[in-house]
Structure 1
């Protein structure tokens, strides 16, 4: 059992504490912005940094992954709950709590039943498209906030764009100046002095400007009063039909967080050489989300940017998350008055710059160069998420993943090894396609399981090899079984039909390099009868070699 705060020693204590202070400077302003994206009060973002963060840090196996709401999760919360209740209402906030609890239960189930592999169906193109669609939807709302233009942040993407364009005439000059200056500082600072918490610097400077110049009287929107005090234990009370209505969005949140969270966790564990325990990490997400729903926050996932920042700061433990929780609690107890005058354009700039990488511009360009079909998969997921909605987007994502999987599985590599006409040549056991065998013998190698998607492709390849062979007619077919790890019922039926065709054609069937599980499966399916099984392809070739045609000699005998 891994102890809490694994990796913490006296030697690295100072580094970890300093990294925690840096994490406070990064996380607090971002979480205020993410709460606004989700349509929730600032406290919902701050509460997520206390109990859920501590619960996650104590349970998780990863020593570095930072748990927190992120921009994509916040957008998904807003888009899914926005259709059920008005943003800012009591019902809306209650649904956000219930959604987090459902996510927590699902994470726990994934952990207990070891079902984390389901997230593998969210391939890179699908994640790029899905998150990119959410990010662009967020960006429109943040641009409106930066310009001081009022739009319905809970509306559809097209409605937001129309509202933004039609409201450009109401742009507030001070809001535009604040946001432009904030973006410049954030971009230049990130480029030249990455170690400085520029988001915090921007919020402090713009808040001072608002207070000194009284810019709230000039039409600049500010965050407003933030209730003081620690989070309190609560529980969402809803009709059971409402709980059911939240399940699809909770599934989407869980799958996306699982895919991203485990990927980040595995990459850092390999890089820093400590154990990776996927099911333990999933349970930590479960505990954190239940805690979030029970104390006034919303769905929690992994933060790639904050994890990277902590790694750059030299942190190798979960102590910075503990420092973050303590610092946020102190802010809520004694410093909420400092938050009231934070200008909304500055918050919009901080969030907007943070989500620029989520748009996936470079990733889409890379997909275009490498694989056009996968680019189309990502683009379709992007457009559906953007114009139809997040839940349809995740459904389309899984559908495209299955189509992509079936497309690749239906066209497996099939090596056909034929006679070259030179009796002296033989087949090596690891020979590539094009290597030759003895006269009259064909070796077929299927580099995949035999199942419904590729059964007919395999049988067609065998028939073509038998009928198109030049020189001596084919009298033996050897199926190299090394890469065939499984056979389903449909694949078995196709193979049974192939055996019958070979028998009618006068061609004997043999197997080579068969794995024991595959042999048992063939027996179970009734496909292995009198056929001989050879240890190697070389042994099969030697055993099946015949003398020259017309000599009357028969095939050499061999031991199965």
Structure 2
């Protein structure tokens, strides 16, 4: 088993500690903003950086993935709990804690039963559309915060937009000025001096300006008092019906975090040459989320942006996460007074700029150029998430993904092979009349499992090959090298094809059958009297020399 802080050596200790300070500067302002997005107090975002972060860092197999509440998780928390309790109430916070605990339990179950593969159904188009919809919803709230316009941040997207538009006549000029300068500094700073923690710089400088110029008296909102002290153990006490009501949103959180977290974790492990264990990472996510729910925070996920920042800073261990935990604890013990005067427009600017890449504009363009159906999947997920809700969005996306999978599986590559085994002519793209492997022989290869979605397509393709040949076909050989499985419906298609071929005086044989597939064919009763050939050339030679089917 990999030891905690694997990869840490005396040579890279200074680099890792420096990266930890950078992570602290990035995480503090963002987590305060994400807590506000979720409808929770700032401490909910800060508490997440202490105990849950330590547990995750000591258990995870990834040496670089940074765990934290992120924008998508915060928006999902707000959208799913907002209909059950009023944002900011004690009941709302209790629901957020319970949701994190349920998500943690689901992570543990996935780790125990090795169910990480389920997240593979969240393809790139689904994630692009889902996260993009959440990001645009968040952006409207942050724009309102930057303008000093009051809207219901827990409402539906259209309600937020209408509230923002109707409230434009109440905007605060000083708030707009603070936000505009903050956005300019963040964008230009990230472009020209990316290693500087500009989010922290913006919050410090804007706070000094607000205090010095008494801008709070001019209508600029500030964060307000943040309770001092470390997180304390708690446990949400809810009726069992409320626990059940939280399960769908917790499942969505778990699946999205699993898909994104494992993908990012695997990519950095491959890039930097260290081991990756998906189930161990799921276990770490599980305990981290349970810890978050048990000490006043909300659902944890993977932070792609912070992980990338740590990689650029040269970090290759989880030590920066431990530095982050210690630094956040010290801030809560001795420095909460420094947070009270942080201007809300600056927080809105920091969060707004951070989520801009999540809108997926570049990814949508790429999908449009590469595959229009997958673009439609992403766009549908985006629109449903935005206008109906996050959970319906992910459900619709799953259905579309399955339709896409069935659509591709129903049209596999089916070819008539020529005698050299390499040249082929497709039977699904209008193969020329007369396509045969050798006089009187057709060797057909299908590059997919044979199952209910493509059984009829396969049999019709073989029939076209037989009836469309220039010379009478007496022998059909099915190249089974790429057929890895057959279901009952596929077996019925084989039986139907065999009967049709028999009625037309054509023999049916199989070639290059994998051992597991052969066992499956025998189990389904499809091998009575059939011959097997080691290669297609052997099949052609045997049939040409003997004029019939080899019994080897």
TM-score bracket for the superposition, by shorter chain length: over 0.9
1:298 aligns with 2:283: no
Q: Which residue in the other structure is 1:520 paired with?
A: 519
Match of 1:22 in 2: 22
Contact 2:509 2:549 survives alignment (8 Å): no
Deviations 1:304-345 (A, max 9, x none): 000000000000000000000000000000000000000000
Match of 2:128 in 1: 128
Residue 158 (structure 1) aligns with? 158
Distance in 1, Cα, partners of 2:360 & 2:242: 34
Deviations 1:29-54 (Å, cap 9, x if unpaired)? 00000000000000000000000000
**1:25-44 to 2 correspondence within 5 Å?**
25-44=25-44
Residue 555 of structure 1: how far off its partner (Å): 1.8
1:367 aligns with 2:367: yes
- 2:307 equivalent to 1:315: no
- Residue 555 of structure 1 is matched in structure 2 by 547
Alignment of 1:276-291 (within 5 A): 276-291=276-291
Structure 2: distance between partners of 1:330 and 1:354: 25
Distance 2:263 2:79 in 1: 25
Cα distance in 1 for partners of 2:425, 2:284 equals: 48
Within-5 A mapping of 1:417-436? 417=417, 427-433=419-425
Using the alignment, how far apart are the partners of 1:430 and 1:321 within structure 2? 54
Tell me the SS of whatever aligns to 2:270: helix
Partner residue, 2:89:
89
Q: CA deviation at 1:191?
A: 0.1
> Structure 2: how far apart are the matches of 1:286 and 1:431?
51
Cα RMSD over matched residues? Answer: 1.0
Q: Which position in structure 1 is the counterpart of 2:432?
A: none
Whether the aligned pair in 1 keeps the contact of 2:507 and 2:549 (CA below 8 Å) is no
Corresponding residue number in structure 2 for 1:145: 145
CA-CA distance at 1:428 after TM superposition: 2.6
CA shift, 1:556, in A, is 5.2
The reply to whether residue 108 of structure 1 matches residue 108 of structure 2 is yes
| Separation in structure 1 between the aligned mates of residue 273 and residue 424 of structure 2, nearest angstrom | 36
SS at match of 2:476: strand
Deviation, structure 1 residue 430: 4.1
Cα distance in 2 for residues equivalent to 1:371 and 1:262 = 25
Q: TM-score, structure 2 length as denominator? A: 0.97
Give the drift of 1:557.
6.2
**Matches of residues 182-261 of structure 1 in structure 2 within 5 Å?**
182-261=182-261
Q: Is contact 2:417-2:423 (8 Å) kept? A: no
Which residue is equivalent to 1:459?
Answer: 459
Deviations 1:84-142 (A, max 9, x none): 00000011000000000011011111111111011111110110000000000000000
Q: Output the CA distance in 1 between the equivalents of 2:414 and 2:437.
A: 16
Separation in 2, partners of 1:417, 1:143: 61
The answer to whether 1:486 aligns with 2:485 is: yes
Following superposition, the deviation at residue 491 of structure 1 comes to 0.9
Q: Please give the alpha-carbon distance, in whole angstroms, between the structure 2 residues aligned to 1:555 and 1:391.
A: 62
* Cα distance, 1:174–1:522 mapped onto 2, change above 3 Å: same
Which residue in 1 is equivalent to 2:429? Answer: none
For residues 404-442 of structure 1, the C-alpha deviation after alignment (integer angstroms, 9 at most, x for no partner) is 100000000001236xxxxxxxx2344443795220000
**More displaced stretch, 54-63 vs 365-374:** 365-374
Shift of 1:495: 1.2
Q: 1:252 & 1:15 partners in 2: Cα distance?
A: 36
Report the alpha carbon displacement of residue 219 of structure 1 after superposing the two structures with TM.
0.6
Q: How far, CA to CA, are the matches of 1:217 and 1:306 in structure 2?
A: 35
- Taking structure 1 as reference, are residues 399 and 469 closer, same or farther at Cα in structure 2, changes over 3 Å only? same
C-alpha deviations, 1:32-79, integer Å up to 9, x for none?
000000000000000000000000001000000000000000000000
Q: Give the secondary-structure state (helix, strand or coil) at the position aligned to 1:499.
A: helix
TM-score (ref. length: structure 1): 0.96
SS at match of 1:428: coil
> How big is each residue's C-alpha offset from its partner over 1:321-372, in whole Å with a ceiling of 9 and x where there is no partner?
0000000000000000000000000000000000000000011011111111
Aligned to 1:59: 59
Residues in 2 aligned to 1:65 and 1:527: alpha-carbon distance in whole angstroms: 50
Cross-structure match for 2:167: 167
Q: Which residue of 2 aligns with 1:500?
A: 499
**What is the CA–CA distance in structure 1 between the aligned matches of 2:549 and 2:405, rounded to whole Å?**
43
**Distance in 1 between the 2:549 and 2:504 partners?**
21
**Take 2:68 and 2:88, find their aligned partners in 1: how far apart are those partners?**
21
Q: CA deviation at 1:526?
A: 0.8
Paired residue secondary structure (2:415): strand
Q: Which runs of 5+ in 1 are unaligned?
A: 419-426, 547-553
Q: Secondary structure at the match of 2:64?
A: coil
Whole-angstrom CA distance in 2 between matches of 1:8 and 1:26: 22
* Distance of 2:524 and 2:551 partners within structure 1: 24
For 1:352 and 1:74, the matched residues in 2 are separated by 13
Secondary structure (helix, strand or coil) at the match of 2:425 reads: coil
Distance between the aligned counterparts of 1:430 and 1:305, measured in 2?
Answer: 46
Cα distance in 2 for residues equivalent to 1:24 and 1:331: 10
**Which digits, 9 at most, give the CA deviation of each residue in 1:178-225, with x for residues without a partner?**
000000000000000000000000000010011111111111101000
Q: Cα gap change, 1:557/1:367 in structure 2, threshold over 3 Å: closer, same or farther?
A: closer
In 1, Cα distance between the equivalents of 2:477 and 2:153?
65
Unaligned runs of 5+ in 2: 427-434
Q: What do the CA deviations read for 1:235-282 (whole angstroms, capped 9, x no partner)?
A: 100000000000000010000000000010010000000011111111
Which residue number corresponds to residue 423 of structure 1?
A: none
Q: In 2 relative to 1, CA 557–105 (structure 1 residues): closer, same or farther, beyond 3 Å?
A: closer
| Whole-Å separation in 1 of the counterparts to 2:342 and 2:133 | 28
- In 1, are the aligned partners of 2:412 and 2:446 still within 8 Å (CA)? yes
Is the contact between residue 416 and residue 437 of structure 2 (CA under 8 Å) also seen in structure 1?
A: no
